């Protein structure tokens, strides 16, 4: 994984992981004491695998006297902050239709869209050495080295703006007791049409204390200069980082699936993929909607009020005109939803089972089906 010539790695006879470990680790460290850090680049474009590498380095690598830069890109994915509500932050139905992944990271901050036109940079340091302004200074210097006169600067919010207006980089961080990391995006050639479409919450009527994102106008670096693509930007940032920290200008590849180098990485990846983490960690919220449903020539207003905790429905009330669907039918559906996930696929399975027990009246059965579809559509 690590280029031994560049990082002064001792070759051992054992199959010891090839990253340096914290002092309490039982594994033998491979990096000599004098090594001040390194630059890593992921071989994966899977968002969960790359986020898992962040967790692994933060939890396992000794960073008190070393600095690490991790460079990675992802196939299309939306990444929300640790304390955010995905139903508020993005169009989940569109994500499902387009096959775009959704991930929740360990750091705070707002929601971002990743694709292969976006470069992600993670700066690892000790807690004491944590400095976002320094890191963003490295990025802006690298960009100006590629194109002198480029108007880029970091803001007080630790974003990077292009031409004083367009956001090309957002930032977030995770601070541990001893270690920390600061990561940021860098828009080189991202599909901004998809970005705008998916970063728009489609679920109406949500009330929540979750951290909201702050929308900003964005622009790609390649819109200013086609030569500022991901490859050129990655090389420039890596070189500037190495120069700033006095490292050899080399980039070491890292394979997020390599359990021999990153013991336990598979478990970290699976934890980040789990519904309980991606959706279940959403802060408690409520949903209140009112909509009109139609069956043949009859219309009716339907109200829906839910409380959702840990991604599961803890209370539910459904109402409509008693001449359209009897109140007992609404109450039965509401009571069955309590305890289930706030999830369209699970709701679809549950309501399908309920429909099989619906009274034989064809019109009532059809209306109940319309009602069920209306409830699932909220999710």
Q: Which of 2-11, 46-55, 104-113 is predicted with the least confidence, judged by mean pLDDT?
A: 2-11
221 falls within a domain: yes
Inter-residue long-range contacts of 160-169, CB under 8 Å, 24+ positions, other chains counted: 160/136, 160/184, 160/186, 162/219, 162/221, 162/224, 163/219, 163/224, 165/217, 166/216, 166/217, 166/218, 166/219, 167/216, 167/217, 167/218, 167/219, 168/218, 168/219, 168/220, 168/221, 169/136, 169/139
Residue 355 reports pLDDT greater than 90 = no
Q: Does 216 share its domain with 314?
A: no
Q: Does 77 share its domain with 141?
A: yes
Task: State pLDDT tens for residues 56-72.
Answer: 999 999 999 899 999 99
Q: What is the mean pLDDT of residues 278-287?
A: 98
263, 279, 295 - which closes a domain = 279
72 falls within a domain: yes
Q: Does 305 share its domain with 217?
A: no
Task: State pLDDT tens for residues 30-40.
Answer: 234 455 789 99
Q: Does 231 share its domain with 184?
A: yes
58 falls within a domain: yes
Residue 28 reports pLDDT greater than 70 = no
CATH number of 296's domain: 3.30.390.50
pLDDT (0 to 100) of residue 34: 52
pLDDT (0 to 100) of residue 363: 81
Mean pLDDT score across all residues of the chain:
89
19 falls within a domain: no
Count of structural domains within the chain? 2
Structural domain containing residue 368: 285-378
Residue 27 reports pLDDT greater than 50 = no
Q: Does 50 share its domain with 69?
A: yes
48 falls within a domain: yes
pLDDT (0 to 100) of residue 71: 98
Q: Does 340 share its domain with 254?
A: no
Q: What is the mean pLDDT of residues 238-262?
A: 94
d(CA 115, CA 75): 5
pLDDT (0 to 100) of residue 10: 27
279, 304, 331 - which closes a domain = 279
Q: Does 221 share its domain with 193?
A: yes
Which three-class secondary structure state does DSSP give residue 128? coil
Q: Does 200 share its domain with 330?
A: no
- Answer with the residue of higher pLDDT: 56 or 359: 56
d(CA 186, CA 118): 6
234, 259, 279 - which closes a domain = 279
- Answer with the residue of higher pLDDT: 42 or 6: 42
Q: Does 274 share its domain with 292?
A: no
Task: State pLDDT tens for residues 93-107.
Answer: 999 999 999 999 999
CATH number of 190's domain: 3.30.930.10
371 falls within a domain: yes
Q: Does 208 share its domain with 228?
A: yes
Q: Does 260 share its domain with 319?
A: no
Q: Does 313 share its domain with 261?
A: no
């Amino acid at each position: 994984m690590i280029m031994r010539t560049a990082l002064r790695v001792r070759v051992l006879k054992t199959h010891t992981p090839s990253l340096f470990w914290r002092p309490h680790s039982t594994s033998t460290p491979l990096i000599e004491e004098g090594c001040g850090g390194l630059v890593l680049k992921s071989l994966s474009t899977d968002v969960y695998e790359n986020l898992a590498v962040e967790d692994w380095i933060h939890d396992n690598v000794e960073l008190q006297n070393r600095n690490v830069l991790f460079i990675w890109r992802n196939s299309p994915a939306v990444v929300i902050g640790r304390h955010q509500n995905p139903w508020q932050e993005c169009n989940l139905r569109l994500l499902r239709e387009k096959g775009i992944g959704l991930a929740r990271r360990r750091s705070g901050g707002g929601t971002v869209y990743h694709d292969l036109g976006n470069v992600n940079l993670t700066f690892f340091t000790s807690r004491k050495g944590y400095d976002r302004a320094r890191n963003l200074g490295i990025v802006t210097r690298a960009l100006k080295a590629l194109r002198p006169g480029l108007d880029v600067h970091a803001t007080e919010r630790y974003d990077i703006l292009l031409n004083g207006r367009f956001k090309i980089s957002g930032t977030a961080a995770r601070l541990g007791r001893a270690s920390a990391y600061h990561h940021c995006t860098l828009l080189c050639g991202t599909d901004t049409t998809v970005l705008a479409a998916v970063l728009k919450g489609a679920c109406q009527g949500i009330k929540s204390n979750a951290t909201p994102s702050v929308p900003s106008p964005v622009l790609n670096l390649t819109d200013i200069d086609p030569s500022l693509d991901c490859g050129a930007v990655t090389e420039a940032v890596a070189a500037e980082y190495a120069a700033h920290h006095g490292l050899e200008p080399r980039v070491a590849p890292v394979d997020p699936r390599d359990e021999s180098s990153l013991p336990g990485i598979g478990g970290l990846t699976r934890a980040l993929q789990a519904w309980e983490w991606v959706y279940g960690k959403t802060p408690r919220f409520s949903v209140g909607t009112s909509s009109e449903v139609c069956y043949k020539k009859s219309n009716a207003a339907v109200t829906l009020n839910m409380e959702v905790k840990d991604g599961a429905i803890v209370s539910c009330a459904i109402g409509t005109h008693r001449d359209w669907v009897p109140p007992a039918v609404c109450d039965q559906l509401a009571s069955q939803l309590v305890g289930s996930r706030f999830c369209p696929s699970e709701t679809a399975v549950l309501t399908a089972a309920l429909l099989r027990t619906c009274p034989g009246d064809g019109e009532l059965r059809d209306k109940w089906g319309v009602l069920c579809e209306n409830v699932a559509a909220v999710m």
